[in-house]
Chain A
Amino acid sequence: NSKVIQTPRYLVKGQGQKAKMRCIPEKGHPVVFWYQQNKNNEFKFLINFQNQEVLQQIDMTEKRFSAECPSNSPCSLEIQSSEAGDSALYLCASSSGDEDTQYFGPGTRLLVL
């Protein structure tokens, strides 16, 4: 079973509000991914890190979304100004980096009213 921890499990925000969620990867996993899963079960990759450095990110992430993985602290994903279309399950995954298996946390379900 995955040991990726995500908090909070549920988040309710009004439009325009900030939404912040956190992730603690499995111990010893330096690579962290954030995905958005919509109500149709479609996955959208947002950003990934190796240790504290961004490896890849999509355009959407560069605008209203910000993320970081500081050393000795949880990784975080923050939406600066939430929109209704941001309502989704946000999944954090981690991997060892030596191979490609990703282990997922339970997700943070964001509802933007």
Chain B
Amino acid sequence: GDSVTQTEGPVTLSEGTSLTVNCSYETKQYPTLFWYVQYPGEGPQLLFKVPKANEKGSNRGFEATYNKEATSFHLQKASVQESDSAVYYCALGDWQGGRALIFGTGTTVSVSP
């Protein structure tokens, strides 16, 4: 079945350093790929999504490229801030609406000032 694997956390960084969270997926379909972020006490929020292979998504300085050949969708940010501390989830969706998302196990990122 479909699956998503991402960097095991926690990832601890200092402000101003770069972040990479790896995400790999397995599917026989043509998925849309998502990054969600979850802050304590809240539900997951959409960071961005990329519906097509070889395209890049970005938001708030975060970016990821949908690499169909490598089945990867790594999240990157060049310079993190303390407010980026959260749990990040890579997720795999169907191009049709109405299907459940397949989430990775999440990567906890802690940024110290």
A residues at B contact (CB < 8 Å) = 1-2, 4, 6, 31, 33, 35, 40-43, 45, 48, 50, 55-56, 91, 93, 95-107
Establish whether residues B100 and A48, one from each chain, have CB atoms under 8 Å apart when the complex forms.
yes
Which residues in window 17-71 of B have CB below 8 A to A?
A: 32, 34, 36, 38, 41-46, 49, 51
Interface centre among A43, A95, A100, A105, by most chain B C-beta atoms within 10 angstroms, is A100
Docked CA distance A102–B42 (Å): 15
Q: By CB atoms of chain B within 10 A, which of A6, A35, A97, A102 has the most?
A: A102
How many residues belonging to B are interface residues under a CB distance threshold of 8 Å? 26
| B44 and A91 contact, CB distance less than 8 A | yes
Contact A1 B103 (CB under 8 A): no
Cβ of B43 and Cβ of A102 under 8 Å apart? no
Residues of B within 8 A of A (CB): 32, 34, 36, 38, 41-46, 49, 51, 87, 89, 93-101, 103, 105-106
Chain B proximity of A8: nearest CB distance (Å): 14
Chain A-chain B contacts (Cβ-Cβ < 8 Å), number: 67
**Chain A: CB-nearest residue to B49:** A101
Residues from chain A with Cβ under 8 Å of B44 in the complex:
91, 104
Besides the contacts A4-B43, A55-B98, A100-B94, what 12 more A-B pairs have beta carbons closer than 8 Å? A31-B97, A35-B100, A41-B105, A42-B103, A45-B100, A91-B43, A95-B98, A99-B32, A100-B95, A101-B34, A102-B101, A104-B43
- CB proximity of A15 to chain B, nearest CB, Å: 25
Across chains A and B, which 10 residue pairs bring their CB atoms closest together, nearest first? Answer: A104-B43, A45-B100, A97-B97, A41-B106, A100-B93, A43-B103, A104-B44, A106-B43, A107-B43, A100-B32
Contact A41 B87 (CB under 8 A): yes
Tell me the nearest residue of chain A to B43, going by C-beta: A104
